[in-house]
């Protein structure tokens, strides 16, 4: 059983793979958190005297129970104002202006499957395991607010999925000031945080450090999850590495403002919390109304970051995705942006597509510049009609020509935005987010459409649906190129202006839900100036995301490495681009650019017409080889072996077919004169098996190097001496038993 309940003791024991999560209803109906860690059997019970002792200055809700203080009680969903001085999960304002919320147990239910919050992306119960959900109802009898805490688990996955439904069952208004999705109190320990931070062109770098007293926050108030932060925070045993240390991680299935906190308390414990950011959030609950939070995914791993990643990867591969692309192989794309920028036109796109088809590319994506008078980024967003001079036969004409070449056709859009210089803005200036009497800030010369306005949502679904149907496109790249400011909406009364940030996200999800539901065969790629909105919420609708606007192969090592902490590689689109690189001017070998893009969802973004015959042959070879390896890369188990921050290189490998085969990729950063022979120790192999090792650096099954035991490959590794900057090396390994013809 994934969920065990001891009725008498009101004791809840969740088994999530190799982890357990335990809490109990204690005196006065409070919900006490007892345990989240390696799996334990549901026998015996925690003695609460081990967990609770009276502390000076800690007020007690019940006079005779000095030990029962909200200030020290480890809780599941802490409220506010009853003597808990730590970060609350819930804070409200009642109709009399008071902020106290005091939740007590009011019942529970165990159900099969995984329900999800309404209107929000959510994880779908995998079909291969026993999936259950526990719903615990809490109630504040004074303000008559109910909180239903949901906990979904599968018996074979170390993840607990939490979210909360808040119901106003009284006769007065209650305003939510903070409503996190999950909160957990961990006991005394030496904790280290792990997070992903960055900025445009440098997304999701791994950062880690010792957690001290006070509140450690990871957050975004930019309107999106952002380039700067990731809705993720892990707390780990000191010294955590890929293979060592207990890790407790949280990731929010949400694309807007978020807050993740780790608060070191006075007695060495830590309170974790994650949810919608309360600085930009308020929600009015009139009598009878409810609010549902996004889902938070809580992962426990006993053996370091690698295991944590494997749990996230498995969960997201199986359970994240609303439409037909979950689990399917992703195509090889050529994108026009760095090849042509705004100068796309029918003739050039078709010329480029002919070369693309010849080298084996599968989809050509026409990026920005195809509509209205879009010759630069100052105009035309909102006017989603193709430019007749650039595309005399419209997008349908170019899509037909691409289809005739055996290619699929993709198209870039940026639906959430409007340029001042556009027909749409002239007709509907009131459709922008804004605040009366304040001027509107521009970002990339554009304003943000008000997706909290249902009329704007309907308009967007209508024009995008029409575009897809009239043109016959197969792929949509959905971009979003600025963060939000002056966030207010004329369609909501003053009392509900605090809801607009979240309503914007709900509106976005409504559009994406409608389109991905209606056109399940169309593949949507997410983008926000690269990876500015790379989160599980977007991945639910756009199963792959342009990882970064920085296409330099060497910078991409760190970006892709960091992203892989949470997301499987097929969620990352990665393109081979021209040299010198357009962002950093670096010149790297074509094979290295190939191997970096090969390590994710391979694509190209350069003018193939300008390449030599030899370079085209090399690309043809890269693509041919990727097709042979696509299953292994896109569905294999991913291991990070060398870190770009520590090892002057990045190394990783993909293992599949029950450890019968593997692909190892290793890319150097800086060469050293007469440098060392370096060893890359492999992981995930079968120590009892012998592997044929083939050097595939040239994207073919070039040279068989010999047969080595899995034990030796993992104990000692593969050796190489890089003697040039930015060199790449790759090996393919397979056991003797693995079917010879399988990949060749």
Q: Which residues are catalytic?
A: 479, 549
Residue 529 within binding range of ligand DGJ, rule CB under 6 A: yes
Greatest pairwise CA separation for the chain in angstroms: 85
Residue 427 to residue 431: CA distance in whole angstroms: 9
Cβ-based nearer residue to ligand DGJ, 236 or 353: 353
Among 530, 536, 537, 562, binds ligand DGJ (CB under 6 A): 530
**Shortest distance, position 376 Cβ to ligand DGJ, whole Å:** 10
**Shortest distance, position 203 Cβ to ligand DGJ, whole Å:** 11
CA–chain centroid gap for 612, Å, is 38
Residue 416 within binding range of ligand DGJ, rule CB under 6 A: no
**Shortest distance, position 446 Cβ to ligand DGJ, whole Å:** 10
**Shortest distance, position 353 Cβ to ligand DGJ, whole Å:** 18
**Shortest distance, position 543 Cβ to ligand DGJ, whole Å:** 17
Residue 337 within binding range of ligand DGJ, rule CB under 6 A: yes
- Binding to ligand DGJ (CB under 6 A): which residues in 446-505? 479, 481
Cβ-based nearer residue to ligand DGJ, 249 or 333: 333
Among 150, 193, 371, 412, binds ligand DGJ (CB under 6 A): 412
- Quote the tokens at residue 566: 């949470």
State how far the alpha carbon of 42 is from the alpha carbons of 29, 154, 250, 302, in Å: 21, 16, 24, 19
Task: Give the containing element (helix H, strand E) for 568.
Answer: none
Cβ-based nearer residue to ligand DGJ, 545 or 663: 545
Binding letters toward ligand DGJ, positions 549-578, x by CB under 6 A: x-----------------------------
Residue 371 to residue 363: CA distance in whole angstroms: 20
Q: Which residue is nearest to ligand DGJ (CB)?
A: 368
- Phi, psi for residue 579 in degrees, rounded to 5: -120, 150
Cβ-based nearer residue to ligand DGJ, 550 or 637: 550
Residue 367 within binding range of ligand DGJ, rule CB under 6 A: yes
**Shortest distance, position 529 Cβ to ligand DGJ, whole Å:** 5
Residue 524 within binding range of ligand DGJ, rule CB under 6 A: no
State how far the alpha carbon of 303 is from the alpha carbons of 40, 244, 446, 678, 722, in Å: 16, 5, 46, 25, 31
> Which of the ranges 47-55, 153-161, 313-321, 527-535 carries the binding residues for ligand DGJ, by CB under 6 A?
527-535
- Phi, psi for residue 435 in degrees, rounded to 5: -130, 130
> Which residues are CB-neighbours of 420 under 8 A, at least 6 positions away?
442, 445, 446, 447
**Shortest distance, position 195 Cβ to ligand DGJ, whole Å:** 23
Residue 591 within binding range of ligand DGJ, rule CB under 6 A: no
Of 147, 151, 137, residue with least CA distance to 174: 147
> Which of the ranges 91-99, 234-242, 247-255, 524-532 carries the binding residues for ligand DGJ, by CB under 6 A?
524-532
Residue 527 within binding range of ligand DGJ, rule CB under 6 A: yes
Q: Which residue has the tokens 């119960």?
A: 125
Pairing verdict, β 690-695 and 703-709: antiparallel
**Shortest distance, position 227 Cβ to ligand DGJ, whole Å:** 11
Cβ-based nearer residue to ligand DGJ, 340 or 642: 340
> Which of the ranges 6-14, 115-123, 164-172, 525-533 carries the binding residues for ligand DGJ, by CB under 6 A?
525-533
Q: Which residues of 402-418 are buried (b: 16+ CB within 10 A; e: fewer)?
A: beeeebbbbbbbbbbbb
Binding letters toward ligand DGJ, positions 135-174, x by CB under 6 A: ----------------------------------------
Cβ-based nearer residue to ligand DGJ, 283 or 475: 475
HSE-CB for 336 with a 13 A CA cutoff: 26
Taking a C-beta distance cutoff of 8 angstroms, is the pair 322, 541 a contact?
yes
Q: Which residues of 572-601 are buried (b: 16+ CB within 10 A; e: fewer)?
A: bbbbbbbbebbbeeeebbbbbbbbbbbbbb
Taking a C-beta distance cutoff of 8 angstroms, is the pair 109, 135 a contact?
yes
**For binding to ligand DGJ (CB under 6 A), which residues are involved?**
337, 367-368, 412, 479, 481, 527, 529-530, 546, 549
């Amino acid at each position: 059983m994934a969920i065990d309940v001891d009725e008498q003791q009101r004791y809840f024991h969740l088994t999530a793979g190799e982890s357990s999560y335990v809490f109990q209803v204690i005196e006065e109906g409070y919900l006490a958190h007892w345990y989240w860690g390696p799996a334990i059997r549901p026998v015996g019970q925690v003695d609460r005297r081990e967990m609770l002792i009276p502390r000076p200055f800690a007020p007690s809700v019940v006079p005779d129970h000095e030990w029962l203080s909200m200030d020290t009680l480890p809780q599941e969903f802490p409220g506010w104002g009853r003597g808990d001085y730590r970060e609350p999960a819930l804070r409200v304002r009642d109709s009399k202006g008071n902020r106290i919320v005091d939740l007590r147990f009011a019942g529970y239910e165990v159900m099969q499957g995984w329900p999800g919050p309404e209107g929000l992306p959510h994880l779908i119960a995998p079909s291969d395991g026993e999936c259950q959900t526990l719903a615990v109802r809490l109630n504040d009898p004074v303000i008559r607010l109910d909180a239903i805490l949901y906990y979904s688990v599968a018996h074979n996955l170390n993840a607990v999925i939490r979210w909360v439904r808040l119901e106003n069952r009284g006769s007065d208004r209650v305003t939510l000031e903070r409503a996190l999705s999950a909160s957990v109190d961990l006991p005394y320990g030496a904790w280290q945080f792990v997070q992903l931070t960055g900025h445009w062109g440098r997304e999701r770098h791994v950062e880690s450090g010792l957690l001290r007293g006070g509140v450690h926050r990871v957050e975004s108030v930019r309107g999106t999850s952002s380039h700067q932060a990731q809705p993720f925070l892990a707390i780990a045993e000191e010294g955590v590495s890929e293979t060592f240390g207990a890790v407790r991680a949280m990731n929010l299935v949400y694309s807007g403002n978020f807050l993740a906190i780790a608060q070191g308390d006075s007695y060495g414990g830590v309170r974790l919390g994650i949810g919608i950011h309360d600085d930009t959030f308020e929600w009015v609950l009139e009598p009878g109304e409810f609010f549902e939070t996004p889902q938070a995914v809580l992962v426990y791993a006993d053996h370091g970051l690698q295991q944590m990643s494997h749990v996230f990867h498995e969960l997201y591969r199986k359970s994240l995705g609303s439409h037909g692309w979950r689990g399917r192989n992703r195509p090889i794309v050529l994108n026009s942006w760095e090849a042509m920028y705004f100068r796309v036109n029918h003739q050039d796109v078709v010329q480029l597509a002919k070369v693309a088809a010849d080298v084996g590319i599968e989809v050509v994506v026409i990026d920005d510049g195809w509509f209205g008078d879009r010759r630069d980024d100052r105009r035309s967003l909102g006017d989603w009609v193709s430019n007749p001079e650039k595309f005399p036969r419209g997008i349908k004409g170019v899509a037909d020509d691409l289809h005739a070449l055996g290619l699929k056709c993709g198209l870039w859009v940026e639906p959430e935005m409007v340029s001042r210089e556009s027909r749409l803005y002239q007709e509907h200036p009131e459709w922008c987010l804004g605040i009366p009497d304040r001027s509107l800030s521009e970002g990339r010369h554009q304003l943000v459409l008000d997706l909290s306005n249902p009329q704007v949502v309907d308009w967007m679904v209508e024009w995008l649906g029409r575009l897809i149907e009239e043109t016959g496109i197969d792929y949509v790249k959905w971009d979003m190129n600025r963060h939000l400011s002056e966030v207010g909406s004329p369609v909501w009364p003053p009392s509900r202006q605090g809801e607009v940030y979240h309503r914007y996200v709900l509106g976005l999800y409504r559009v994406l839900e409608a389109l991905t539901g209606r056109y399940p065969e169309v593949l949507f790629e997410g983008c926000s100036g690269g990876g500015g909105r790379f989160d599980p919420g977007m991945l639910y609708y756009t199963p792959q995301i342009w990882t970064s606007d920085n296409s330099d192969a060497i910078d991409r090592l760190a970006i892709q490495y960091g992203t892989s902490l949470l997301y499987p590689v097929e969620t990352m689109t990665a393109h081979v681009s021209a040299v010198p690189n357009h962002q950093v001017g670096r010149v790297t070998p074509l094979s290295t650019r190939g191997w970096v893009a090969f390590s994710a969802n391979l694509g190209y973004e350069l003018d193939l017409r300008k390449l030599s015959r030899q370079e085209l042959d090399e690309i043809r070879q890269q693509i041919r080889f990727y097709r042979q390896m696509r299953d292994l890369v896109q569905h294999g188990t991913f291991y990070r072996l060398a870190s770009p921050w520590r090892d002057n290189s990045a190394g990783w490998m993909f293992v599949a077919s029950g450890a019968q085969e593997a692909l190892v990729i290793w890319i150097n950063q800086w060469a050293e004169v007469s440098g060392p022979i370096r060893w890359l120790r492999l992981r995930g192999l079968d120590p009892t098996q012998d592997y044929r090792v083939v050097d595939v650096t040239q994207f073919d099954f070039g040279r068989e190097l010999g047969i080595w035991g899995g034990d030796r490959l993992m104990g000692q590794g593969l050796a190489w001496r890089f003697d040039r900057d930015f060199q790449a090396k790759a090996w393919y390994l397979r056991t003797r038993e693995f079917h010879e013809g399988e990949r060749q």
